[in-house]
Amino acid sequence: METKDLKPESLAAQAMGWVDETTRAVSPPIHTSSTYLRDPDNQYRSKRAYARADNPAFDQAEALLAALENGAQAALFSSGMAAATSVFLALAPGDHVLAPKVMYWSLRNWLAGFATQWGLEVELIDMGDAAAVQAAVRPGKTKLVWIETPANPMWSVTDIAATAKIAKASGARLAVDSTVATPVLTRPLDLGADIVMHSATKYLNGHSDLIAGALATREDDASWQRIKALRAQLGGTMGSFEAWLLLRGMRTLYLRVHAASRSAMRIAEHFSRHPQVAEVLYPGLPSSPSHAIAAKQMRGGFGGMLSIRAKGGEAAAIATAAHVTLWKRATSLGGVESLIEHRASVEGANSPVPIDLLRLSVGIEDAGDLIADLERALAAAQGARK
């Protein structure tokens, strides 16, 4: 069967069906060379010169991600932050950019600090409100609209198609941090986005054993070439071993994301009726303000990330996290093991995150076991506070 006729699940499982020409290996070798032989006539016909710019170890993961996102090309980076910051640094000082008030905190801090000092005019707005986006966008001056959906750690969903329309009408590009949705649940480029970004550390890899980032582009245009040049110049390039591990993880992406989404839905429903839980934040719940957009935009599930707000405030939230045993108290998300984290402790004073919020990254364990462990922890936390 032709690649174009295959479902993404099949493309991912076989990493596009690639087989090594020389050895017939179905799993790729790990290319570690930092440099490549120049032809006697001074050319580089292999199109490879030096591994800070490019590396054959990236080829398959980049081709697979481009196919899964329906993009023209993809590029791997040394981290999600290296990928995201390259999109902003490819702009010029003086450019106006819009980004969400609620987003991955480290990128928000970088935008408010370094990017602003460097000369970008950064405006943080409520991306859930199309009228606010329309009012903030400045035709000819706004060069980039950055959104994250679902947005960490409150999981509000932004309407990609509507935002793309507003961005396009004013001459701005739209970039989407789709780390949490993954191409399994949302394909931003199909909805009008220009660039999609992933912290590949999370679901794309899925095993909490590497730091990685990736971008996919709708078009191989001048802006994309500038981003690729920045990767080579700043050296935000991924290592060969990491690229190999990432491709291995991506083969099971669809199974993992569907399993995590199913369990997250069960956990969200269960704790939305729990006496010690003030609120469950999950776009899959019909009570969520994001549910209507999520149901329209996300296919096959609402993702593996949710948050709960503990009755009893910050102390109750921290005590609950202290009493889990199956859930692991750790930062990050998107791995096969479930993680719990009190986000306000991480994000500090400028964070919009409520102090009673616990972020849950649902892995692939049995959902009943995860529910029972969190039930026990909530009860133990309440007991400890009496």
Ligand X SMILES: Cc1ncc(COP(=O)(O)O)c(C=O)c1O
Angle between helices 80-89 and 222-234 (to 10 degrees): 120
> Least CB distance from residue 178 to ligand X, whole Å?
9
Please give the full DSSP string across 103-156, using - where no structure is assigned: S-HHHHHHIIIIIHHHT-EEEEE-TT-HHHHHHH--TTTEEEEEEESSBTTTTB
Read off the tokens for 167. 């961005």
Q: Closest CB to ligand X among 180 and 189?
A: 180
Among residues 54, 104, 228, 282, the one annotated as catalytic is 104
The Cα–Cα gap between 374 and 88 comes to 39
> Least CB distance from residue 74 to ligand X, whole Å?
15
Among residues 108, 143, 187, 202, the one annotated as catalytic is 202
The Cα–Cα gap between 150 and 303 comes to 8
> Least CB distance from residue 202 to ligand X, whole Å?
6
- Verify whether residue 177 is a known catalytic residue: yes
Q: Closest CB to ligand X among 77 and 327?
A: 77
Q: Closest CB to ligand X among 277 and 282?
A: 282
Question: What is the C-alpha end-to-end distance of the chain, expressed in Å?
Answer: 64
- Verify whether residue 104 is a known catalytic residue: yes
Q: Closest CB to ligand X among 80 and 128?
A: 80
Contact residues for 217 (Cβ-Cβ < 8 A; gap 6+)? 71, 72, 73, 74, 189, 194, 195, 224, 227
Handedness of CA 273, 152, 201, 291 (dihedral sign): positive
Handedness of CA 242, 246, 249, 251 (dihedral sign): negative
The Cα–Cα gap between 341 and 332 comes to 9
Shortest-Cβ-distance residue relative to ligand X: 80
Q: Closest CB to ligand X among 46 and 331?
A: 331
The Cα–Cα gap between 28 and 31 comes to 9
The Cα–Cα gap between 370 and 328 comes to 11
Strands 96-100 and 142-148: parallel
> Least CB distance from residue 271 to ligand X, whole Å?
22
Among residues 54, 108, 159, 177, the one annotated as catalytic is 177
- Verify whether residue 4 is a known catalytic residue: no
Q: Closest by alpha carbon to 264, among 186, 157, 363?
A: 363
- Please give the residue ranges that form the binding site for ligand X (CB under 6 A): 79-81, 104, 107, 148, 152, 177, 179-180, 199, 201, 211, 213, 332-333
Among residues 48, 52, 138, 141, the one annotated as catalytic is 52
- Verify whether residue 50 is a known catalytic residue: no
Q: Closest CB to ligand X among 80 and 239?
A: 80
**Strands, DSSP E only, in the chain?**
73-77, 96-100, 121-125, 142-148, 173-177, 195-199, 213-217, 277-281, 305-310, 328-329, 339-342, 357-361
> Least CB distance from residue 197 to ligand X, whole Å?
7
Q: Closest CB to ligand X among 11 and 75?
A: 75
3-state class percentages of the chain: helix first, strand second, coil last, to nearest 5: 40, 15, 40
> Least CB distance from residue 257 to ligand X, whole Å?
15
Tell me the catalytic residues. Answer: 52, 104, 177, 202
